[in-house]
Amino acid sequence: MGDILGLVGKRLGLGLIILLVISIIIFFMVELLPGDIAQAVLGQGATEENLRALREEMGLNQPAIVRYLDWLRGAVMFDFGNSIVTGESVANTISERFINTLFLAAYAAMIAVPVSIVLGVLVALLRNSIFDRVANVVSLSFISSPEFFLGYILILYFAVKWSMFPAIASLSNDMSFLELLQRAFLPALTLVLVVMAHMMRMTRAAIINLLASPYIEMARLKGTPPWKVIVRHALPNAWAPIINVVALNLAYLITGVVLVEVVFVYPGIGQALVDAVSKRDFPVVQACCLIFAATFILLNLAADVGAILTNPRLRHPK
């Protein structure tokens, strides 16, 4: 148990260092953007006195390193400042959007994870068959297709031609849970088609790699049915790479939803990021990027911990 806690502690410390480096990159990359922030906010007709007052209010007269330390100190306390456009707290602005993104990611994960693992086991069981080849071709097609392309194809058929689901995934607080599921189905299905193919192929590869092991051959020689060889002997030992790829795809479901949310006008943090970039609302941009980075790092940490817990050899590096 101590070894596991030590490894988790090391990875958590490394994750914090990486997050610190990413925060520096985010802040100073925004600083390097061309143009004057105060001029962009007030417009070309602003007087010099108004520009000077806004720069003083936003702290733009201070050195960049001072502003970064102030921003980092607030970010540690989940205080990302105020929006330049609305004047509201950034944390309040993006909190509801982030909850919507988490709902969409969880919706997609509840469909993609079990279906991809089951399909991965089936194609491993029926490898080199017609089903296996068709599944590989379809999965490669989905992996190779951009999210916005899949989204528009789904809108064309499910919303325009068949009128089964709405093309715009607008949400409101007075909707029932079933209405939320219906409104978010098409963006969730888009994410499912992208990540499910990757998880299915990795599950198939992990199981096939184990089928040549001596204990698998022994189980076959004993007359164990093929499905039982995979489910009871190969699958438990393939959990480490499967958990890794599932955790990485869950990270993608949260951090890679920007295009999907824009296509379906879904009120998530990805849509908020795009709106903030178009309006040059830099505090919101910085907060969204930092949240994406922190989420990706945490889920990568979860993947490492899951791999350690499912593979005893990783607990003892020696």
Gap between the Cα atoms of 260 and 271, Å rounded: 9
* Weakest-pLDDT range from 17-21, 134-138, 285-289, 307-311: 307-311
Instruction: Kindly list the structural domains of the chain, giving each domain's residue range(s) and its CATH number in brackets, ordered by start.
Output: 2-76 (no CATH), 91-310 (1.10.3720.10)
Return the pLDDT at 264. Answer: 92
Instruction: Kindly state the percentage of the chain with pLDDT values over 70.
Output: 91
pLDDT reading at 83 higher than 80: yes
Gap between the Cα atoms of 3 and 315, Å rounded: 6
More confident residue, 147 or 307: 147
Residues pairing with 82 in the sheet: 89
pLDDT reading at 234 higher than 80: no
Q: What is the pLDDT of residues 15-53, one digit of tens each?
A: 889 889 999 998 888 777 766 677 666 667 677 777 777
- Burial class, 55, CB count within 10 angstroms (exposed 0-12 / middle 13-18 / buried 19+): middle
- Longest CA span, the chain: 87
- Burial class, 14, CB count within 10 angstroms (exposed 0-12 / middle 13-18 / buried 19+): middle
More confident residue, 169 or 7: 169
